[in-house]
Amino acid sequence: MKSILLKMFFGICGFLLGVIFIIYRCGYILEGKKKRADRFYAYFNLLDRWLSCKEQGYELVGFLKENNIKSVAIYRMGKIGNHLKYELDESGIEIKYVIDEEEDVIYGKEVHYNLQDNLPSVDAVIVTSVDEFEEVRDKILAINKILNVISLEQIIDYMENNNSF
């Protein structure tokens, strides 16, 4: 009788631990999916705001020229980075290099650096990643104290609020 009760006790404990583990795992998976969805929403919102500015005739280049920025580096050459590169190539702003932690990514003619590298001087480093700007800025400035690090989102904020160019 004692062994049957002991087996039932361990069986119930095992079942409860399994349920707790599954609930924990599902929460962990859902949390990761929510973070990813939030990031994609932030990217969508940034692109929507950028496109709205373009539709109203305001260009990123206006901000750069107004601030005497003639050469830039782009951090993170994902989809948004490629759109930024295209717009800058069309405007005559020089892209001296790209910064990305993905070592296996091959870019066009741009020179590639990592965040840990001593970066050459440019008028501005434009960070295209919307969810990690402060962290990236701090990493860049820890090694390269004289660089001007701005986010694409800051430029778009400026375009929306100061429609003077």
Is the pLDDT at 106 greater than 90? The verdict is no
The residue to which tokens 């990305």 are assigned = 100
Q: How confident is the model at residue 107 (pLDDT cuts 50, 70, 90)?
A: low
Per-residue model confidence as pLDDT tens digits over 2-18 = 778 777 777 787 777 77
Q: Give 144 or 21, the one with higher predicted confidence.
A: 144
SS3 labels along 52-83 = HHHHCCCCHHHHHHHCCCCEEEEECCCHHHHH
Q: Give 19 or 107, the one with higher predicted confidence.
A: 19
Q: How many CB atoms lie within 10 A of CB 25?
A: 10
Q: How confident is the model at residue 25 (pLDDT cuts 50, 70, 90)?
A: confident
Give the closest residue to 60 by CA, choosing from 40, 78, 86: 86
Per-residue model confidence as pLDDT tens digits over 34-86 = 788 888 899 999 999 999 999 998 888 888 988 999 999 999 888 899 999 99
Burial 54-92 (b: 16+ CB within 10 A, else e): eeeebebbbbbeeeebeebbbbbbeebbebbbeebeeee
Q: How confident is the model at residue 150 (pLDDT cuts 50, 70, 90)?
A: very high
pLDDT at 50: 93
pLDDT at 104: 53
Q: How confident is the model at residue 152 (pLDDT cuts 50, 70, 90)?
A: very high
Question: What percent of the chain stands above pLDDT 70?
Answer: 90
- First-to-last alpha carbon distance for the chain, in angstroms, is 87
**Torsional sign, CA 127, 129, 134, 138:** negative
Is the pLDDT at 165 greater than 50? The verdict is no
**Residue range 91-104: mean pLDDT, rounded:** 83
- How does the average pLDDT of the chain come out, rounded? 85
Gap between the Cα atoms of 4 and 12, Å rounded: 12
